[in-house]
Structure 1
Amino acid sequence: MEEGMEPGTVRPGGRTARVRAAVLQAAGDALAEHGFDGLDLADVARRAEVGKTTVYRRWATTTGLVADLLDDMAEQSSPRTDTGSLDGDLLANARLVVKTLTDPRQGALFKAVIAAATCDPRAARALHRFYATRIEEWAPCVTQAAERGEVPPGTDAAEVIRAVSAPLYYRFLVSGDGLDEGAADRAAGAAGAAARAGAYGS
């Protein structure tokens, strides 16, 4: 590991990359099954068929492992859909969020990593990086909409993308209301209407 780097932040190739991939897959499975409180490095090592010493040396703590898992999720996330219209793009974004959160494994995994972020600064920083990456991926659809004249010039693209997903995460984490395509359609429609009305002027 390079001097000054935190455990779990190395991006090596070859065998080490294969070990990292196996451990992160195992960590995701364990989180989805047992939540953050049930995450155990020895169990992850067993699932990944990797020596415990390797896992403890490279990640050191469960929060270090969660942080690296979030970084990997950001790297592997689905590319942005480009439909050619703001409404179509925001709808694609909203439906992707709903699809992810309602997936049995992915939904449980997101709840676990969000729980980790509430109690550990390193996990919180990783979660913030994850969402910053997703917003950066999708914000160009708003910029392009401004260039086409669909929204006012100077519309804050990141705020529009946040406005799409925020009500969906509220349903997922707080209210317990259902998440389906109808919820996705309403979130995307409301964000698009507000953007056209100039609500997100920078």
Structure 2
Amino acid sequence: MGSDGAEPGSVRPGGRTARVRTAVLRAAGDALAERGFAHLDLADIARRAEVGKTTVYRRWGTATGLVADLLADMAEQSLPRTETGSLLGDLRANARLVQRTLADPRQGALFKAVIAAATCEAKTAEALHHFYDVRVTEWAPCVQQAIDRGEVPEGTDTHEVIRAVSAPLYYRLLTSGGPLDEDAADQAAAAAATAAAAGAYLRGKELG
């Protein structure tokens, strides 16, 4: 069976459908980073990807559908967690990964554009939530391992600890304009690790 024998819309490594998806999603990411969601145009994406317009319209339908697939692909391609043997080390590795991504000119602009679109596009918001769920779920076992080692209390919400690491970095990206460097990443990791050890992320905990 040839490469075109795959089911329509399927993604088979090395198949034409997979190559088309890769080219179109790369073009969509470039366009988002350059011009933002409001100027995302499927005909322009097709031209950039050197793919027929009909193919792009048939497969993705709308700019929102294309961005949703881009986020799904980013979740699929994202790097696995790092395990260093300590909570602080693991959270620092996580924070530096987030920092490198957001500080990258293309990736940082892309995330800004997608986050902006998610405020008014339900499908984009759903896709963005799924992307972060995948990333948080990938890293949450690092916190469970810290619980098992006795570094943080039983009952700690593992997902909330991981979210707490990224939150200051996204704040810098979107609002403060502060430097988004390794020092910022390390500070975010240290703050989350210290708070977790103090019991700040216990499930159901009422903070006085």
* TM-score normalised per structure 1: 0.93
By how many angstroms is 1:11 displaced?
4.1
Which residue does the alignment assign to 2:11?
12
Query: For the residues of structure 1 that align with 2:106 and 2:180, how far apart are their CA atoms?
Result: 15
Moved over 6 A (4+): none
Which residue does the alignment assign to 2:74?
73
By how many angstroms is 1:113 displaced?
1.0
Secondary structure of 2:201's aligned partner: coil
Matches within 5 A, 1:9-158: 10-13=9-12, 14-158=15-159
What is the one-letter code of the residue matched to 1:165?
S
Q: Which runs of 5+ in 2 are unaligned?
A: 1-8, 204-208
Query: For the residues of structure 1 that align with 2:136 and 2:76, how far apart are their CA atoms?
Result: 13
* TM-score normalised per structure 2: 0.91
What is the one-letter code of the residue matched to 1:12?
V
By how many angstroms is 1:53 displaced?
0.5
Cα-to-partner distance string for 1:2-61 (whole Å, 9 max, x where unaligned): xxxxxxxx4432211111111001111111111111211001001111000110111111
Secondary structure of 2:119's aligned partner: helix
Secondary structure of 1:64's aligned partner: helix
Query: For the residues of structure 2 that align with 1:115 and 1:20, how far apart are their CA atoms?
Result: 24
Moved more, 158-167 or 10-19: 10-19
Query: For the residues of structure 2 that align with 1:143 and 1:80, how far apart are their CA atoms?
Result: 13
Query: For the residues of structure 2 that align with 1:107 and 1:36, how far apart are their CA atoms?
Result: 14
**Identity within the alignment, %:** 75
Query: For the residues of structure 1 that align with 2:64 and 2:177, how far apart are their CA atoms?
Result: 26
Which residue does the alignment assign to 1:6?
none
CA contact (8 A) 1:117 1:127 kept: yes
CA contact (8 A) 1:66 1:116 kept: no
What is the one-letter code of the residue matched to 1:39?
L
Which residue does the alignment assign to 1:188?
189
Aligned residues: 193
Query: For the residues of structure 1 that align with 2:10 and 2:68, how far apart are their CA atoms?
Result: 13
Secondary structure of 2:51's aligned partner: coil
Query: For the residues of structure 2 that align with 1:61 and 1:116, how far apart are their CA atoms?
Result: 13
By how many angstroms is 1:106 displaced?
0.6
Moved more, 103-112 or 121-130: 103-112
Root mean square deviation, CA, Å: 0.9
